[in-house]
Amino acid sequence: MSDIILHIIPREQWANLQGQSEYEGDTLKSEGFIHFSTPNQVVMVANARFKGHTGLQLLVVDPAKLRAELKYEPPYETNPDGAIAAQARDQLFPHLFGPLNLDAVVRAVDFEPGEDGYFTLPDLGN
């Protein structure tokens, strides 16, 4: 599918994870997996769910280093106006069914919206 996957995280939360070995996100317990996106999907997700939010980062993750099971599946849910469902109808999103082992994170990249509140894909340092 992709040689990297991405996870949107508040910069402060990422800073607090330094020195830890795993990350469960805010959905592992409630939904059973951690949400990820491919580079082609992350801007759509960010603009639908995080428009105008500042202080975010993208975790760039190497799927080959993951210890938990990674599955590509249809979107789990939609935002209230259905924007993700409409744009992602035929797409499969990476879902991690267990904690993210932090040694799979290749880098963290600042992910700030433009003045209009919308996101564009930053240089991921490939």
Would you kindly state where each structural domain of the chain is located, as residue ranges?
42-90+99-113
pLDDT value at position 85? Answer: 53
Sheet with 69-73, strands from edge to edge, namely 34-35, 93-97, 69-73
pLDDT value at position 90? Answer: 76
pLDDT band at 1 (very low <50, low <70, confident <90, very high): very low
Please tell me the pTM assigned to this model: 0.89
What pLDDT, in 10s, does the model give residues 35-76?
A: 999 999 999 999 988 999 999 999 999 999 999 999 999 876
